[in-house]
Structure 1
Amino acid sequence: MYKAMLMAALTLPMLGCESAHAEESWTLNTLADARSGIASPVDLGAPGDSPGDMFVFDQPLLNAEKENIGSNSGYCVRTLPGQFSECQWTLTMADGTITVAGREAETGTSLIPVVGGTGAYLGVTGMLATTPNGDRTFTQVLTLMKPNR
């Protein structure tokens, strides 16, 4: 009997710790619209697509209904011409920002880590899946996690 009471006493506090560290998760679907706003290539070094070239942007950020909800601003540095760039950008919305950074492919879907946020997104982690749509828009699906405090 004492053994059962000891096990219960040791197990209950551990259960409380686990629930205190549970995470809230959700998905946010956005569309980055490069058809308007700033989208400036910066050709450095050899003319044409070459390592070190940059692309600087500040474009509208739209929700799933294609309503403007903020801006999608950042830059990419070309690492492998015609294939990959290293990018960092911030999605700015009325209730805060989400910053992502990582390797983006020229074609197909790229998975970019979320590195942080502000406002309602303070402490957020997760992943952004970005896919070019062929019309200078990018479908962005954010899978976000925020520790419950």
Structure 2
Amino acid sequence: MAAVAVLAATLLLNFSSAHAKQDTTFVTIADARSGIATPVDLGAPGDSPGDMFVFDQPLLNEARQPIGSNSGYCIRTLPGQFSECQWTLTMANGTITVAGREAETGTSLIPIIGGTGAYVGARGVLTTTPNGDRTFTQVLTLFR
């Protein structure tokens, strides 16, 4: 029994160490102050389930220099509170696609569902937070 516990602890430690070495975190800024940001009112007039928001906006680095584009769409699921969204961050070395539930206010955690180029096989989480100036800080943590 003690050998099994030692083996389990060793495997867990090795998995945790290997996983930690592979994680990559970087920050981008989605700039909703320019580019395309189009609401599509599909349901009842005003904010209602099924309405969409389509966007293609500049993607910036932490120094707020352009590094690509942030493009996608959101479908309103709970008016004034949540939307289901999918978008792609396009950069010179590849793309990262995210999809999940985004809150109208506050920080949201969105799953990273894949990528291309340098990000092929990417998985992880994007944490997005509105900055109050129509930009959003996006912290990407890739588990590779």
TM-score, normalised relative to structure 2? 0.86
1:93 corresponds to: 91
Question: What's the counterpart of residue 44 of structure 1?
Answer: 42
Measured in 2, the distance between the counterparts of 1:34 and 1:66 equals 13
Output one character per residue of 1:64-114: Cα deviation in whole Å (capped at 9) or x when no partner: 010100000000000000000000000000000000000000000000000
**Structure 1: 4+ residue segments shifted above 6 A:** none
Q: Percent identity?
A: 79
Provide the C-alpha distance between the structure 1 equivalents of 2:133 and 2:52, rounded to a whole number of angstroms. 20
Structure 2 unmatched ranges of 5 or more: 1-6
Matched, 1:139 2:137: yes
Q: In the aligned structure 2, how far is the partner of 1:45 from the partner of 1:69?
A: 35
Counterparts of 1:1-149 in structure 2 under 5 Å? 22-23=18-19, 24-146=22-144
d(CA) in 1 for partners of 2:78, 2:122: 30
Q: CA deviation at 1:43?
A: 0.4
Output one character per residue of 1:109-134: Cα deviation in whole Å (capped at 9) or x when no partner: 00000000110001111100001112
Counterpart-to-counterpart distance in 2, 1:38 and 1:138: 15
Q: Structure 1: 5+ residue runs without aligned partners? A: 1-10
Question: In structure 2, what is the Cα distance between the partners aligned to 1:145 and 1:69?
Answer: 22
Alignment RMSD, CA only?
1.9
